[in-house]
Structure 1
């Protein structure tokens, strides 16, 4: 699976994005992303994704 990534995709609005699997080096960027999400968007997530320990655990489990 990892051999297929990174992969570029174009959104409906024309924006190009790069899709790739989560890597340990991405943990700070992922935490910053989650911390910017409105609380209402995080309400039903299983984990407290704004807690650095949660994202750290995810990275450690890779």
Structure 2
């Protein structure tokens, strides 16, 4: 049973780390989208931010189901 708990904690920690990385990616993409002078690139960066945001939501949902 101890091995199961260790694996569970490891998986939860991994999901949390991935979620944090996605959150940072959202912030960076949003910053870049505001700084870029090329409108097409700015739109692409905003779209990228939205994709990161969706992935973060999915990871948070998975982590919530694991608790």
- TM-score bin (small chain): 0.3 to 0.5
Q: TM-score, normalised by structure 1?
A: 0.35
Higher normalized contact order (CA 8 Å, seq sep 6+, divided by chain length)? 2
Q: Which has the higher helix share?
A: 2
Q: Which has the higher Rg, Structure 1 or Structure 2?
A: 2
Q: Which has the higher strand share?
A: 1
